[in-house]
Each structure stands twice: as structure tokens, then as C-alpha cells.
């Protein structure tokens, strides 16, 4: 426990002296010296510089050996696969991106291997040096069948043999997680949800989805479909039937990023560009938040009402302490959009959760995948590298 506490302190604070580690853990100097010797012998800690420039004699500093282990994450969308490798400290040391495969599952396996190899090369290692990989995709793999559900728009990922083929092709343990769940992991570890055990994260980018954290843990549901709120029937849209075949539902049709360009045209908002709908939607929301007058104001009002309509059902059931709004099509609205959603939700729902915009903006799905892979990797490396005290 003392050894792990010291490792966690070094991960959190960077280089520390023996005296500082002893102070922060409450251990004596001899005990702190012994644990540092154990960690250094195990290859988990390295000496790095001294406390030069501070009052008193210089003291040796220690830090986590960043190259003691590597973990990888992957973010898969209908357009591209982005992979990254992080060292044991959590620093991203290699990234690689390539297009998502076509319809054949074999190409998905090949592209995953290619993306991982590319990120490993960028990090100066091989894929065999990676201890664990976490892959984030839309939808979720049903634990009873191994098939991807709720993501018919993701080409090449629906073979019943896909997980077995990936396991055979990749040289490390692999975990699969819903992309929005990984955004929640990133916010819980690094962002605005730190310290919160009960929160909802609403994501609006390629699709509209939610992550549910209850009692500090992700709630996935029996088939991995918890949080697939794009299928949620809501007032203001026609009732969608055959939602799996349509890959959409009421909430998606009311407030999803793909409907925002159409809404802007209907309201007479100027400058609706052509291009991928998620990027167009984010640009429209950003422009509306900046102008906040005329058609732009009405556009932002209607978008906020749409978001609040779906959120009202979520908070009525879950009563979370915090709601995190994330994804480009939401973050682009900033405080003008957040204030409108907050006001609308206060009218539509009895609970009063705190609403915030997510703070992990750069590749949040990938960052969550890396954080998830690193957490397990650190546990494994510590358990196998540090000898137990027989006493």
C-alpha cells in the first residue's frame, strides 16, 4: 500500500524527493528510502536531478519511469480510426490516423492493426511493447453475442467473428467501450467531473448519446445499450418506429447534430455551408452564440429547448448531481447555449443538477480510452513488478 501510494503521488505531482514523499504519505525517512529502493529496483522509479536552487542541501528527486510500460487507445468513427500510445505517466508519445474500413470485417481487423502499428512506430516502440489496448466505438458490443449493437452506421464492424479475429490478430489484451462512455471516463479522471460519483454526460457530435455514471461507475445496461438516448422518444418529433433499422429516434431527430443545418435553413440563418454535418453544426452553433440576435437567437433557443427536452427525461429518472454537456455541437455554444439549456431544464424537470460544459476538448474519446487502458496497466505493472513483503 505504501509503495502504491508513493507511485500515485509521483504520477500526480511529478518528481519528488524522499523527504517530500515521506511527508505526503506520513512515512518515516527510512521507510520512504526503503520503498523508493524497491520501486527503483523494480524499474518503476528512476532518479532524476536534485532540488538545486532550493534552501538547504540538495536532495535527490525521483519520478515514475515513463518507459516501464505503454498502453494504447483507439477512437473509431464512420470516417476514421485514430490511435495513440501513452507511456506509464499518461503522456501521449505516439499517434496515427487512417480511414475507417469498408464493409468487410477482415478490413476492420487489418485497419486496427495498421493504426496500432502506426501509433507504436510514432512512439518509438513496436505494438508488442503495448501492454493493453482500449477501443472506443459508437454503440456497444453485446456481451451475450459479441456483436456490435446500436451502430449500424459503422462499416466493417458487424461480423459475429470480429472480436475473435481481433483477439487473434493483436498481441495484447483488448477492451471495447462505447465512445461516449470513454468521454465520461476522460471527464471523470481529468475534467469537470472529477470528484463526482453520480453524473450524466450528454454528447452531441457524430451522434447524440449519453454516459451514465452511478456510484462512481459506468452503468452500461445488460446489452451495453444504457445511454443510447438518441433513440429516446421525445415530444416535438414524430414517433420513430423501427429505431434499430433507422439508426435514429426522437431525441436524435430533435437535437442531434445532423438536424441543425436543416433547422438553421428553416429559420433563415445565413451562411449554412456544405460539408460534414458535425462540423457544419458546430460552426452554426458557434456563430449563433457569438451573434445571439435575430435568426441566430431563435436557432440557439430552439436547439437549447431540444437538448433540455431529452435531458428532462434523463434527470427525472437518475436525479444526478451533475450534467456534463460535451461534443463539438454543444461546446461550440459556450455559456450562451449552456444558460439557455439550464433555464429550459429548470422548467421541464423537478431535479436541479448542476450543468457544465466538458473541459476535455482535444480527442476526448481517445483520451478516455488511454486513461482506461492506463488504469489497468498501472495495476498490472505494479502487481507483477514489486515484490511483496513476506511480513
Same domain, 213 and 177: no
Q: What is the pLDDT of residues 281-314, one digit of tens each?
A: 999 999 999 987 899 999 999 999 999 999 999 9
278: its cell numbers? 458535425
CB 310 within 8 A of CB 254: yes
Give the model's confidence band at 277: pLDDT under 50 very low, under 70 low, under 90 confident, else very high: confident
What phi, psi does 220 have (nearest 5°)?
-105, -20
Out of 64, 90, 112, a domain closes at 64
Distance CA 323, CA 325 (A): 6
76: its cell numbers? 473509431
Task: Evaluate the CA torsion angle 15, 19, 20, 24 in order and state its sign.
Answer: positive
Give domain status of residue 189, yes or no.
no
Give domain status of residue 388, yes or no.
no
Give the model's confidence band at 53: pLDDT under 50 very low, under 70 low, under 90 confident, else very high: low
Give domain status of residue 386, yes or no.
no
Output DSSP code: residue 96: E
Give domain status of residue 318, yes or no.
yes
Same domain, 219 and 320: yes
Looking up cell 515484490 gives: 387
Same domain, 221 and 153: no
Using the predicted structure, report yes or no on whether residue 210 has a pLDDT greater than 50. yes
Same domain, 124 and 205: no
Tell me the β-bridge partners of 84: 73, 95
pLDDT of residue 391: 47
Judged by DSSP in three states, 46 sits in strand
Q: What does the mean pLDDT of the chain come to?
A: 90
* Half-sphere exposure of residue 333: CA atoms within 13 angstroms, side-chain side: 30
DSSP tally for the chain: helices H, then strands E: 14, 15
CA-closest candidate to residue 332, choices 257, 276, 228: 257
Angstrom CA distances, 363 to 80, 162, 321, 369, stand at: 13, 25, 25, 10
Same domain, 205 and 137: no
Judged by DSSP in three states, 86 sits in strand
Domain count, the chain: 3
In CATH, what number is assigned to the domain containing residue 294?
3.30.420.40
Q: In what order do the strands lie in the sheet with 174-178?
A: 92-99, 80-87, 70-76, 130-137, 174-178
Q: What is the pTM of this model?
A: 0.92
360: its cell numbers? 476535455
Judged by DSSP in three states, 134 sits in strand
Same domain, 133 and 109: yes
Give the model's confidence band at 63: pLDDT under 50 very low, under 70 low, under 90 confident, else very high: very high
282: its cell numbers? 458546430
Using the predicted structure, report yes or no on whether residue 193 has a pLDDT greater than 50. yes
Largest CA distance in the chain: 75
Reported as type and span, the H/E element at residue 375 is helix 364-385
User: Per residue in 98-134, is it b (16+ CB within 10 Å) or e — as a string?
Assistant: eebbeeebeebbebbebbbebbbebbebebebbbbbb
| Host domain of residue 35 | 2-64
Using the predicted structure, report yes or no on whether residue 54 has a pLDDT greater than 60. no
Distance CA 325, CA 117 (A): 33
Same domain, 94 and 60: no
Out of 43, 64, 85, a domain closes at 64
Give domain status of residue 345, yes or no.
yes
Looking up cell 461516449 gives: 180
Distance CA 96, CA 90 (A): 17
Same domain, 126 and 256: no
Give domain status of residue 320, yes or no.
yes
pLDDT of residue 243: 83
Using the predicted structure, report yes or no on whether residue 211 has a pLDDT greater than 90. yes
Same domain, 139 and 201: no
- More confident: 235 or 56: 235
Judged by DSSP in three states, 111 sits in helix
Same domain, 98 and 230: no
Same domain, 313 and 377: no
CA-closest candidate to residue 11, choices 234, 189, 197, 235: 189
What phi, psi does 137 have (nearest 5°)?
-135, 160
Give domain status of residue 391, yes or no.
no
204: its cell numbers? 452531441
CA-closest candidate to residue 185, choices 377, 373, 391: 373
Give domain status of residue 187, yes or no.
no
Same domain, 93 and 50: no
Amino acid at each position: 500500500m505504501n509503495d502504491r501510494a508513493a507511485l500515485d503521488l509521483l504520477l500526480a505531482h511529478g518528481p519528488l524527493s524522499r523527504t517530500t514523499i515521506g511527508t505526503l504519505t506520513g512515512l518515516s525517512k527510512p521507510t520512504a528510502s526503503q520503498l523508493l529502493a524497491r520501486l527503483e529496483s523494480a524499474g518503476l522509479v528512476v532518479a532524476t536531478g536534485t532540488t538545486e536552487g532550493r534552501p538547504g542541501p540538495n536532495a535527490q528527486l525521483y519520478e515514475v519511469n515513463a518507459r516501464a510500460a505503454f498502453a494504447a487507445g483507439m477512437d473509431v468513427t464512420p470516417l476514421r480510426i485514430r490511435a495513440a500510445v501513452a507511456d506509464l505517466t499518461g503522456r501521449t508519445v505516439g499517434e496515427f490516423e487512417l480511414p475507417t474500413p469498408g464493409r468487410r470485417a477482415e478490413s476492420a481487423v487489418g485497419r486496427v492493426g495498421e493504426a496500432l502499428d502506426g501509433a507504436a512506430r510514432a512512439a518509438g516502440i513496436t505494438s508488442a511493447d503495448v501492454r493493453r489496448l482500449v477501443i472506443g466505438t459508437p454503440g456497444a458490443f453485446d456481451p451475450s453475442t459479441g456483436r456490435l449493437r446500436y451502430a449500424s452506421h459503422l462499416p466493417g464492424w458487424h461480423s459475429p467473428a470480429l472480436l475473435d479475429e481481433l483477439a487473434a490478430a493483436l498481441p495484447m489484451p483488448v477492451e471495447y467501450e462505447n465512445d461516449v462512455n470513454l468521454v465520461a471516463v476522460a471527464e471523470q479522471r481529468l475534467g469537470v467531473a472529477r470528484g463526482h460519483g453520480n453524473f450524466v454526460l450528454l454528447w452531441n457530435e457524430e451522434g447524440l448519446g449519453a454516459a451514465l455514471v452511478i456510484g462512481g461507475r459506468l452503468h452500461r445496461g445488460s446489452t451495453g445499450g444504457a445511454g443510447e438516448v438518441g433513440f429516446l422518444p421525445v415530444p416535438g418529433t414524430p414517433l420513430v418506429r423501427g429505431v434499430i433499422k433507422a439508426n435514429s429516434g426522437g431525441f436524435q431527430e430533435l437535437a442531434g447534430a445532423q438536424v441543425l443545418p436543416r433547422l438553421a435553413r428553416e429559420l433563415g440563418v445565413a451562411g449554412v455551408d456544405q460539408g460534414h454535418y458535425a462540423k457544419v453544426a458546430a460552426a452554426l452553433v458557434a456563430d449563433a452564440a457569438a451573434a445571439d440576435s435575430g435568426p441566430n437567437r431563435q436557432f440557439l433557443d430552439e436547439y437549447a429547448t431540444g437538448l433540455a427536452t431529452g435531458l428532462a427525461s434523463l434527470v427525472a429518472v437518475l436525479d444526478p448531481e451533475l450534467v456534463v454537456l460535451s461534443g463539438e455541437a454543444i461546446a461550440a455554444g459556450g455559456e450562451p447555449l449552456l444558460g439557455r439549456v439550464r433555464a429550459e431544464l429548470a422548467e421541464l424537470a423537478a431535479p436541479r443538477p448542476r450543468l457544465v460544459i466538458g473541459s476535455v476538448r482535444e480527442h476526448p474519446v481517445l483520451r478516455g480510452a488511454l486513461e482506461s487502458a492506463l488504469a489497468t496497466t498501472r495495476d498490472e505493472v505494479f502487481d507483477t513488478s514489486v515484490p511483496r513483503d513476506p511480513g
